[in-house]
């Protein structure tokens, strides 16, 4: 089945309309009209200045349109903070594009993707998508960014070379696209469709064709950032089945269920991360943010299927950021407003970065050039830059 491309809003090109011809005008009337027109122009300029902030020296969205005016709720800066910028209401997923050194943030309530230059944290663009922008995935082969839109029940495709929307895909029978992930080793795009039937959709990234729909359990985790940890050598997805308190092992090439890894807790896993350097799987046992947050990180040897470590972290661990050069795994913990830092050589907690109880830290990325940590805060709408732990 091929995904149906949905055309964007139609554009209307307005022609130039000429007013009635006047053969003769009284000089006093002309002067009066001229003064009124001048006053209206000045008032319009002042009004626009109040609506749009000055963009002098600042980047604009595609087409020269000023970036969407964003509203954030800043809080006192944590110790060592390098900087912060507003990205919009409830940032849901984030990734770093090494080809253009830009950070892309899907912003759920604002329905946009905010594009940020890491150096100086300048807002490069705000790209409108459809309702409820959530999952993000990048195909480095074609330079396209894929945005799963939850309530929009579709996927927006953005060219990262121009930061412009190129098309939108929808898949009849599947909706609430809350997660996205791309595997460059298999050239597969995965979408998490949480509208029954709950499924992981395998998509052809070139044309939006639906290759297969993989059924998954209800009450799913994932969706914030990558759908699941993936072993690109064995092509196994490790999906957080929160309602069943285990991790579902899925063959990404065939969609076959290979087995389950029980977490042995009563919280329920929210996300997973596969570490290629030590071949271990890290499971964030976050439970439910508002009704029963967990605070554990369960570590598995996937070859033997055994648990090798159990680390106490902050409340509601849900997203991961990895610094391969320093062997640091950053775990975002919304319920306690902090980032737990794990050394993947020892599987021990080595640092806790406090952001504040109302910040609700969400997606995390690491700049591979500097090691700086970027955290998008759901509670404030800010993107915060911190030095390496």
Interacting residues of 186 by C-beta distance below 8 A, sequence separation 6+? 232, 235, 252, 253
One pLDDT digit (tens) per residue for the chain, 389 residues: 333 333 332 222 222 222 333 333 343 344 343 443 444 433 433 333 332 222 222 333 444 445 567 889 889 888 889 999 999 999 999 999 999 999 999 999 999 999 999 999 999 999 999 889 999 999 998 999 999 999 999 999 999 999 999 999 999 999 999 999 999 999 999 999 988 788 999 999 999 999 999 998 877 776 566 899 999 999 999 999 998 899 999 999 999 999 999 999 899 999 999 999 999 999 999 999 999 999 999 999 999 999 999 999 999 999 999 999 999 999 999 999 999 999 999 999 999 999 999 999 999 999 998 999 999 999 999 999 999 98
Domain locations along the chain:
80-386
Query: In Å, how far are 226, 237, 248 from 255, measured between CA atoms?
Result: 17, 9, 11
80-386: CATH number: 2.130.10.10
pTM across the whole model: 0.82
- Ranges assigned E (strand) in 20-132: 83-86, 91-97, 102-107, 112-117, 122-128
Query: Could you give the 3-state DSSP secondary structure of residue 143?
Result: coil
Kindly report whether the peptide bond that precedes residue 197 is cis, defined as omega within 30 degrees of 0: yes
Q: What is the pLDDT of residues 198-247, one digit of tens each?
A: 899 999 999 999 999 999 887 777 656 689 999 999 999 999 999 889 99
**φ and ψ of 10, to 5 deg:** -65, 150
Q: What is the pLDDT of residues 233-272, one digit of tens each?
A: 999 999 999 988 999 999 999 999 999 999 998 999 999 9
Beta strands 328-333 and 317-323, pairing class: antiparallel
Q: What is the pLDDT of residues 58-81, one digit of tens each?
A: 333 444 445 567 889 889 888 889
Say if residues 142 and 182 touch (Cβ distance below 8 Å). Answer: no
HSE at residue 192, side-chain half, CA atoms within 13 A, is: 28
């Amino acid at each position: 089945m091929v995904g149906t491309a949905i055309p964007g809003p139609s554009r209307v090109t307005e022609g130039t309309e000429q007013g009635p011809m006047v053969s003769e005008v009284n000089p006093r009337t002309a002067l009066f009209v001229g003064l009124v027109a001048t006053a209206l122009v000045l008032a319009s300029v002042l009004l626009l200045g109040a609506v749009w902030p000055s963009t002098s020296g600042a980047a604009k969205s595609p087409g020269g349109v000023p970036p969407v005016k964003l509203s954030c709720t800043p809080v006192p800066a944590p110790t060592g903070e390098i900087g912060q910028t507003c990205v919009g209401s409830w940032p849901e997923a984030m990734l770093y594009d090494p080809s253009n050194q830009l950070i892309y943030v899907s912003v759920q309530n604002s329905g946009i993707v905010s594009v940020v230059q890491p150096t100086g944290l300048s807002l490069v663009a705000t790209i409108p998508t459809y309702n409820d922008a959530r999952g993000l995935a990048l195909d480095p082969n074609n330079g396209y960014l894929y945005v799963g839109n939850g309530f929009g029940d579709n996927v927006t495709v953005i060219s990262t070379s121009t930061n412009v929307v190129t098309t939108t895909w929808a898949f009849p029978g599947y909706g609430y696209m809350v997660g996205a992930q791309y595997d460059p080793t298999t050239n597969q795009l995965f979408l998490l469709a949480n509208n029954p039937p709950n499924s992981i959709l395998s998509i052809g990234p070139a044309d939006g064709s639906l290759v297969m729909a993989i059924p998954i359990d209800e009450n799913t985790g994932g969706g914030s950032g990558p759908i699941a940890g993936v072993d690109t050598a064995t092509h196994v997805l490790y999906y957080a089945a929160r309602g069943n308190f285990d991790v579902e092992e899925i063959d990404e090439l065939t969609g076959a269920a290979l087995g389950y890894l029980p977490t042995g807790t009563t919280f329920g896993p929210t996300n997973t991360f596969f570490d290629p350097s030590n071949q271990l799987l890290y499971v964030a046992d976050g439970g439910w943010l508002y009704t029963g947050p967990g605070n554990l990180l369960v570590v598995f040897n996937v070859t033997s299927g055994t648990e090798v470590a159990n680390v106490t972290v902050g409340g509601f661990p849900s997203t991961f950021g990895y610094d391969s050069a320093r062997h640091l795994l950053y775990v975002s913990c919304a319920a306690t407003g902090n980032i737990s830092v794990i050394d993947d050589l020892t599987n021990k907690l080595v640092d806790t970065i406090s952001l504040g109880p109302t910040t609700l830290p969400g997606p995390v990325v690491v700049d591979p050039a500097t090691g700086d940590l970027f955290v998008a805060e759901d509670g404030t709408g800010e993107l915060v830059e911190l030095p390496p732990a």
